[in-house]
Every structure is written in structure tokens, then in C-alpha cells.
Amino acid sequence: MSDIQVEVHPDTETLTAAAARRFVDTVVAAQQSRGFASVVLTGGGTGIGMLEKVRVNPGAIDWRELDIFWGDERFLPAGDPERNDVQARAALLDHVDVDFDRVHTMPVSDGIYADDPEAAAVAYAQVLGAHAGGKQVPVFDVHLLGMGGEGHVNSLFPDTDAVREEHRFVVAVKDSPKPPPVRITLTLPAVRHADEVWLVVSGEAKAEAVAAAVAGAPPVEIPASGARGLTATRWLLDSSAASRLPN
Ligand SMILES: O=C1O[C@H](COP(=O)(O)O)[C@@H](O)[C@H](O)[C@H]1O
């Protein structure tokens, strides 16, 4: 498992701008070395804020050679403004030349899996498998994560079956404590298939959970603690989110 690296920025604006620059550099480096890159996007304030910054400064990303997945999704109808994919499109994807065949959104609640988020989760696991070169999950170049104040990442909330999942890579959540209640999420075993995991977090309300996760709290209590990349685990923070870390 990779070491944890912590980077602190003065405020949310500089944090999301720095995360965006790192994202562009990492995608470009992967594309230069093997022709394509694969990333996992997150929802939430800092995750979407970072995508807006990428839109402003997209660098040399070859958008046609990028596979885009999601770490979690609110199981809502297509086009619902609360969906993470809708927010990511508005922030970035509708403004760049992505190949939408390589934009792997999670299923919608008014599609063929309506009312069956578990079947939708199985279907998304198959999507991951179809892009994994013979394995079950791709080695993502970057898995982006936001974090909730109680330490949730993706839709993995403390003390839930989803955060305890050890075998499946995608599961349904039907009673999320944060609305909306029904979601689909990659599990910690799927997150750990990423080369790099970045937790992009801002705000004093997250400071306690940041400190607990960086100190190695049990993932069942602080799910972010279990989010580790194969070669790097980066906590990208603003000074408020970092305020409870030891010096
Ligand atoms: O519900 C969610 O929340 C987390 C954190 O969001 P934030 O606005 O507090 O940063 C997010 O990472 C996740 O994708 C989303 O579904």
C-alpha cells in the first residue's frame, strides 16, 4: 500500500486550481507513456470545483484518449441536476472534445434498471470489467474522491455494509444517510485498484475526519481511511480541512 502524502493550500480556490493542474499533468503523462488514461470522477463541491478549473486550463490532455468512470452516483433519473454525471458534464465534459463512448456513466433510475439499483450496480461492475484488460477492474490512473464531514467517500458511509464490502467492486446503497438515499458506489477494493487516489477536501467541517483518516482510523468508522492508491495516496487539502492535523 502506498504512503500517504499531504498537500495543504491556503483556500478552496487555490486547492482546486492546484488539484486541476496535477490532474492535467497526470493524465497527460499517462497518455504519453501508454497512449490513453483512465480516471474516476467524484461528485461534491471540491470535486466539481476542480473540474471547472480543468475546463479553464485543460493543458495538453487528449480528450479522445481518456476513459472516464465515476466513483459513485445518485440513483436518479437521467438529467437530474443532483446526479454527479450531470454536474461533471456542466463543469467540464460538455465543454471539451471527450469521446462519449468512453464516458462511462453509472445507470439512471429511469432506464432499464429502474427500481433495481442492485442490478444497476452489477451492470456497472460489468462495465468496469469490460475495460480492465482481462481483470475485473481497470488500474485507474487517478481515482478522485471528495469526503463528507463524517468521513464518507464515494457513497461509502461509516458503519454500513457498503464500506465493509470486501469482494464486490460496485454495490447499491439504499439507505444513504445523505440524500438522496439510493446510490451506486465503487467499494474500497475498487478504489484500491487506482494507481493514485486523491482526496480533495476543503473546509473546517471536514477537519476532524481528515485528521482521523490520516492517522489511520478504522475504515468502517472513517471510510476515507481505507482509500489507498497502489503507488500514491494524496490528501489535497485547504488549510481549514488540514487544521486538526498534527504539525
Ligand atoms: O454525496 C456525495 O458527497 C461526497 C462529498 O461531497 P462534498 O460536497 O462534501 O465534497 C462526494 O465525494 C460524493 O461523490 C457525493 O456523491
171 contacts 187 by C-beta, under 8 angstroms = yes
pLDDT bin (cut points 50, 70, 90) of residue 1 is confident
Which atom of ligand 1 lies nearest, measured to the CA of 147? 5
Q: What single-letter amino acid sits at 173?
A: V
State the CB neighbour count (10 A cutoff) for residue 115. Answer: 10
Q: Atom 16 (ligand 1): residue with closest C-alpha?
A: 43
Task: Please indicate, yes or no, if residue 162 is contained in any of the structural domains.
Answer: yes
Print the domain residue range for 172. 9-36+53-223
Rounded to the nearest whole angstrom, what is the distance from the C-alpha of residue 241 to the centroid of ligand 1?
15
pLDDT 10s digits, 195-244: 999 999 999 999 999 999 999 999 999 999 999 999 999 999 999 999 99
Q: Which residues pair with 237 in a beta bridge?
A: 8, 201
Residues 50-78 have a mean pLDDT of 98
pLDDT of residue 247: 76
pLDDT of residue 225: 98
Rounded to the nearest whole angstrom, what is the distance from the C-alpha of residue 123 to the centroid of ligand 1?
22
pLDDT 10s digits, 17-27: 999 999 999 99
Contacts of 113 (CB under 8 A, 6+ apart): 107, 119, 120, 123
Based on C-alpha coordinates, what's the Rg of the chain? 17
Cα distances from 21 to residues 42, 50, 89, 95, in angstroms, run: 17, 9, 19, 17
Rounded to the nearest whole angstrom, what is the distance from the C-alpha of residue 122 to the centroid of ligand 1?
22
Query: How many domains does one find in the chain?
Result: 1
Q: Does 107 sit in the ligand 1 pocket, CB within 6 Å?
A: no
Rounded to the nearest whole angstrom, what is the distance from the C-alpha of residue 13 to the centroid of ligand 1?
17
pLDDT of residue 2: 75
User: Distance between alpha carbon 86 and the CA centroid of its chain, in Å?
Assistant: 15
Task: Please indicate, yes or no, if residue 196 is contained in any of the structural domains.
Answer: yes
In this model, does residue 164 exceed pLDDT 90?
yes
Q: What single-letter amino acid sits at 118?
A: E
Kindly state the cell numbers that stand for 79. Answer: 438529467
Task: Please indicate, yes or no, if residue 42 is contained in any of the structural domains.
Answer: no
**Angle ∠(52,153,66) on CA atoms, nearest 5:** 45
For the chain, the average pLDDT equals 97
Kindly state the cell numbers that stand for 103. Answer: 464516458
pLDDT of residue 49: 98
Residues 175-199 have a mean pLDDT of 97
Q: Among 242, 198, 222, 159, which residue's Cα sits nearest to residue 44?
A: 198
pTM greater than 0.95:
yes
Task: Please indicate, yes or no, if residue 22 is contained in any of the structural domains.
Answer: yes
Task: Please indicate, yes or no, if residue 184 is contained in any of the structural domains.
Answer: yes
CATH number of the domain encompassing residue 176: 3.40.50.1360
Q: Atom 6 (ligand 1): residue with closest C-alpha?
A: 44
Task: Please indicate, yes or no, if residue 157 is contained in any of the structural domains.
Answer: yes
Among 147, 175, 191, 202, residue to substitute to test ligand 1 (most atoms within 8 Å of Cβ): 147
Q: Does 151 sit in the ligand 1 pocket, CB within 6 Å?
A: no
Q: Atom 2 (ligand 1): residue with closest C-alpha?
A: 44
Task: Please indicate, yes or no, if residue 178 is contained in any of the structural domains.
Answer: yes
Q: Does 49 sit in the ligand 1 pocket, CB within 6 Å?
A: no
Torsion sign over Cα 21, 137, 96, 93? negative
Share of the chain above pLDDT 90, in %: 98
Task: Please indicate, yes or no, if residue 234 is contained in any of the structural domains.
Answer: no
Rounded to the nearest whole angstrom, what is the distance from the C-alpha of residue 33 to the centroid of ligand 1?
31
pLDDT of residue 115: 87
Residues 163-184 have a mean pLDDT of 97
Q: Which residue has the higher pLDDT, 115 or 118?
A: 118
> What is the ipTM metric for this complex?
0.95
